[in-house]
Structure 1
Amino acid sequence: MRLFQRCITLAICFIPMFSHLAIAQEESYIEGLVVDFKSNQSVPGANVYWKNNPTEGVTTSPEGTFKLPYKKLPAFLIVSFIGYEQIEREITSRDLGKNLKIYLREDQLDLQEVTVNSTRPDQNVKSLDMGKSVVPIETIKNIPALFGEVDLLRSLQLLPGVQTAGEGTTGLFVRGGSADQNLLQIDGAPIYNPSHFFGFFSVFNPDAIHGVDFYKGNIPANYGGRISSLIDISLKEGNFDKIKGEGGIGTISSRLTVDGPLFSDKSSFVVSARRTYADLFLRLSSDPNINNNDLYFYDLSGKAVFKIGDKDKLTVSSYFGSDFLGLSGQFGFGWSNWMGAATWNRNISDRMFFDLNAYSSRYNYKVSFDDADNGFEWGNALGETGVKATWNYHFSEQTKVNWGSHLQFYHFASIDLNPAPNSAIQPLASNPFNGLQINPFVSLNHEISDKIGVEAGLRWSIYQQHGRGTSYTYEGNEPTPEAEIIDSLIFNRFERMKVYQGLEPRIAFRYLIREDLSLKIAANRAFQYLQVASNSSAGLPLDRWILAGTYIPPIRGDQFSVGLFKNFNKDTWEVSLEGYYKDMKNLIDLRQGASVLFTDRVETEILVGDGYAYGVEFLLRKNVGKTTGWFSYAYARTWRKIEGISFDRWYNPRFDRPHDLNLVLNHQFDKQWSANLTFVYTTGQAVTFPAGSYVVDSQRLPLYTGERNADRFPDYHRMDASVTWKNVNRGKKWRGSWNFSIYNLYGRKNPFSYQFTEIFNEQINFTPTSNDPITSRRPGTVMTYLFTFLPSLTYNFEF
Structure 2
Amino acid sequence: MIRGVLLVIFFALTGGSFAQSVVTWQVKDSERVPVLGATVLLESGEVLITNANGKVSKEISGTEIGFQITFVGFKPVQNTFPISGDTTLLIILESDEVVMEAVEIRGNPPRQQLQETGTGYVTFSMEGESELPYLLGEQDPLKFIQSQSGVASGTDGNNGYYVRGGGIDQNAIELDHLELYNTNHLFGFFSTFNPKAIDQVSFMKSGFPAAIGGRLSSMMRIETINPDADSFHGHVKVGVLAGGVSLEIPVIKQKSSLLVAARRSYLDLITQNLMDDESEISRRTDYRFSDLILKYNHRINSQHTLSMVGFMGTDDYLFRSERTFENHIYWKTLNGGVNWKWMANADLDGEVYATLGRYEQRYGAGLSIYQIDLDSYIANARAGANVFLTRGSHQLTFGAEYSYRSFRPSQVHIESTQEEFNLSEVSWLPTAELAVSVDDEITLTEQLRIGLGLRLSSFVHLGPFTRYETTENLVSVDSTHFSHGEWVQHYVSPEPRVRVNYLMNQNSALKASYDRNVQYIHLSPLGSVSLPTDIWVPSSQKIRPQKAHQVALGYYSLLSSQIKYSVEGYYKLLQNQIEYRNGAIAGYSGSKNFDDDFIFGKGQSYGVEFSVTKDAGSMEYQASYTLSKTERSFEEVQGGETFRAKYDRTHDLNLIGTYHLGNWSFSGLFKLSSGNNLTVPVAKYVINESIVSEYSDRNAFRLPMYHRLDVAASWHPSGNEQVTWVFSVYNVYNRRNPYFVYFDVKGDVSAYALDISLKEVALFPVLPSLSFEYSF
1:490 aligns with 2:490: no
Q: Determine which of 112, 120, 124 is the counterpart of 1:123.
A: 112
1:787 is aligned to 2:776: no
Q: Partner residue of 1:265?
A: 254
Shift of 1:778: 3.1
- Equivalent residues in 2 for 1:297-316 (5 A)? 297-316=289-308
Q: Once structures 1 and 2 are overlaid, which stretch shifts more, 506-515 or 454-463? A: 506-515
Q: Higher strand share goes to which structure?
A: 2
**Alignment-mate amino acid for residue 624 of structure 1:** A
Q: TM-score, normalised by structure 2?
A: 0.90
Residues 1:324 and 1:31: Cα distance change in structure 2 (over 3 Å): closer
Structure 1 segment 694-733 matched on structure 2, within 5 A: 694-695=685-686, 700=691, 702-705=693-696, 707-727=697-717, 729=719
Quote the offset at 1:78 in angstroms: 3.6
- Secondary structure of the residue aligned to 2:732 is coil
Picking from 731, 753, 756, the partner of 1:744 is 731
| Per-residue Cα deviation, 1:475-509 (whole angstroms, up to 9, x for no partner) | 4xxxx5x2433321121221100011110000011
1:91 is aligned to 2:84: no
Q: Cα distance 1:720–1:61, how it changes in 2: closer, same or farther (>3 A)?
A: closer
Q: Is the 8 A contact 1:76 1:88 kept in 2?
A: no
Matches within 5 A, 1:202-241: 202-241=191-230
- Taking only aligned residues, the RMSD between alpha carbons, in angstroms, comes to 2.9
Within the alignment, does 1:103 sit opposite 2:99 as a pair?
A: no
**Closer/same/farther in 2, CA of residues 668 and 365 from structure 1, 3 Å limit:** same
Over 3 Å counting, the alpha-carbon distance change for 1:23 and 1:724 in structure 2 is farther
**Match 1:373 to one of 363, 369, 375:** 369
- Give the Cα separation in 1 of the matches to 2:15 and 2:736: 62
Partner of 2:491: 500
* 1:351 equivalent in alignment to 2:351: no
- Secondary structure of 1:429's counterpart equals coil
Query: Could you list the runs of 5+ residues in structure 1 that have no partner in the other structure?
Result: 1-18, 762-775
Q: TM-score, normalised on structure 1?
A: 0.87
Whether the 8 Å CA contact 2:456–2:492 is kept in 1: the answer is yes
CA distance in 1, matches of 2:90, 2:435: 39
1:269-305 Cα offsets, whole Å, 9 max, x none, are: 1000011111123223345343245211110011111
2:655: which partner in 1?
Answer: 663
In structure 1, the residue matched to 2:678 is 687
The answer to whether the 8 A contact 2:374-2:587 is kept is no
Letter of the 2:724 counterpart: S
Cα deviation code 1:359-396 (max 9, x no counterpart):
12221001223345321332121122111111110113
Correspondence for 1:195:
184
**Residues 294, 311 of structure 2: 8 Å contact kept:** yes
Separation (CA, whole Å) in 1 of partners of 2:17 and 2:131: 46
Aligned to 2:612, the other structure's residue is in SS state strand
Instruction: Identify which of 517, 520, 528 aligns with 2:511.
Output: 520
Task: Using the TM superposition, give the Cα deviation of residue 710 of structure 1 relative to its aligned residue in structure 2, in angstroms.
Answer: 0.7
- Counterpart amino acid of residue 237 in structure 1: N
Structure 2: how far apart are the matches of 1:590 and 1:603?
10
How far apart are 1:105 and its partner, in Å? 5.3
Q: Any idea what the Cα deviations from partners look like across 1:425-459, whole Å, max 9, x if unmatched?
A: 64132432121111010000011001110000000
Shift of 1:469: 1.4
2:556 to 556, 565, 579: 565
* 2:110–2:564 Cα contact (<8 Å) kept: no
Contact preservation (8 Å) 2:131, 2:665: no
Pairing 1:295–2:287 present:
yes
Partner of 1:758: 745
- Cα distance in 1 for residues equivalent to 2:487 and 2:373: 32
Q: Is the 8 A contact 1:687 1:710 kept in 2?
A: yes
1:529 to 509, 520, 523: 520
Q: What is aligned with 2:455?
A: 459
**Structure 1 CA distance for aligned equivalents of residues 15 and 496 of structure 2:** 24
Q: Is the 8 A contact 2:353 2:384 kept in 1?
A: yes
Cα distance change, pair 108–758 in 1 and its aligned pair in 2 (3 A): farther
The answer to whether the 8 A contact 1:728-1:735 is kept is no
- Cα separation, 2, equivalents of 1:618 and 1:97: 37
Q: How many Å separate the matches in 1 of 2:569 and 2:418?
A: 56
User: Residues of 2 paired with 1:22 and 1:543: CA distance?
Assistant: 63
| One-letter identity of the residue aligned with 1:435 | T
Per the alignment, do residues 53 and 201 of structure 1 end up closer, same or farther by CA in structure 2, a change over 3 Å counting?
A: farther
Please state how far the C-alpha of 1:178 moved relative to its aligned partner: 0.3
* Residue of structure 1 in register with 2:541 after alignment: 550
2:446 to 450, 460, 463: 450
3-state DSSP of counterpart to 1:279:
helix
Tell me the secondary structure at the aligned position of residue 642 of structure 2: coil
Residues 430-439 or 236-245, more deviating? 430-439
Equivalence for 2:639: 647
Instruction: Give me the whole-angstrom Cα distance separating, in 2, the residues matched to 1:219 and 1:32.
Output: 23
Q: Which runs of 5+ in 2 are unaligned?
A: 1-12, 83-88
Match of 2:412 in 1: 417
- Distance in 2 (CA, whole Å) between partners of 1:22 and 1:487 is 73
Conservation of the 8 A alpha-carbon contact between 1:30 and 1:69: no
In 2: Cα distance, 1:32 partner to 1:533 partner: 44
> 1:264, 1:292 → 2: CA distance?
50
Per-residue deviation at 1:783? Answer: 1.5
Distance 1:331 1:545, change over 3 A: same
CA contact (8 A) 1:34 1:60 kept: no
Correspondence for 2:169: 180
1:142 aligns with 131
How many Å apart are 1:626 and its aligned residue?
0.7
Contact 2:66 2:81 in 1 (8 A): no
Q: Secondary structure at the match of 1:122?
A: helix
- Pick the structure with more helix per residue: 1
Q: Provide the residue aligned with 2:267 in structure 1.
A: 278
* Amino acid in structure 1 at the alignment position of 2:387: W
Change (3 A) 1:721 1:699: farther
Contact residue 243 and residue 264 of structure 2 kept, 8 A: yes
Distance 1:223 1:252 in 2: 36
Q: Which residue of 2 aligns with 1:156?
A: 145
Q: Show the counterpart of 1:245.
A: 234
1:246·1:797 contact (CA, 8 Å) conserved in 2? yes
1:735 corresponds to which of 702, 722, 738: 722
Change (3 A) 1:789 1:31: closer
Answer yes or no: is the 8 Å Cα contact 1:702–1:756 preserved in 2: no
- In the alignment, structure 1 residue 52 sits paired with structure 2 residue 29: no
Q: Counterpart amino acid of 1:368? A: G
Deviates more, 1:558-567 or 1:348-357: 348-357
- The one-letter code sitting in structure 2 at the alignment partner of 1:213 is S
Distance 1:612 1:21 in 2: 52
Q: Report the equivalent of 2:158.
A: 169
- Which residue in 1 is equivalent to 2:9? none
| C-alpha displacement of 1:56 | 5.5
| Cα pair 1:140 1:151 within 8 Å, conserved | no
How much has 1:60 moved relative to structure 2? Answer: 7.0
One-letter identity of the residue aligned with 2:584: A
Letter in 2 for 1:531: H
Matched residue count: 743
Deviations 1:199-258 (A, max 9, x none): 111111111111100001111110110010000111111101111001210011111100
Would you say 1:408 and 2:403 are equivalent positions? yes
Counterpart of 1:333 (choices 308, 329, 343) is 329
Tell me how far apart the structure 1 counterparts of residues 614 and 48 of structure 2 sit (CA, whole Å). 22
- 8 Å Cα contact 2:520-2:538 kept in structure 1: yes
Cα separation, 2, equivalents of 1:686 and 1:435: 35
Aligned residue in 1 for 2:467: 471
Secondary structure at the aligned position of 2:681 is classed as: coil
Cα 1:360/1:135, change in 2 over 3 Å: same
Which of 563, 572, 577 pairs up with 2:567?
577
Structure 2: how far apart are the matches of 1:359 and 1:275?
25
Counterpart amino acid of 1:753?
A: F
> 1:738 is aligned with what amino acid?
W
CA separation of 1:496/1:456 partners in 2, compared to 1, >3 Å: closer, same or farther?
same
Contact preservation (8 Å) 1:356, 1:389: yes
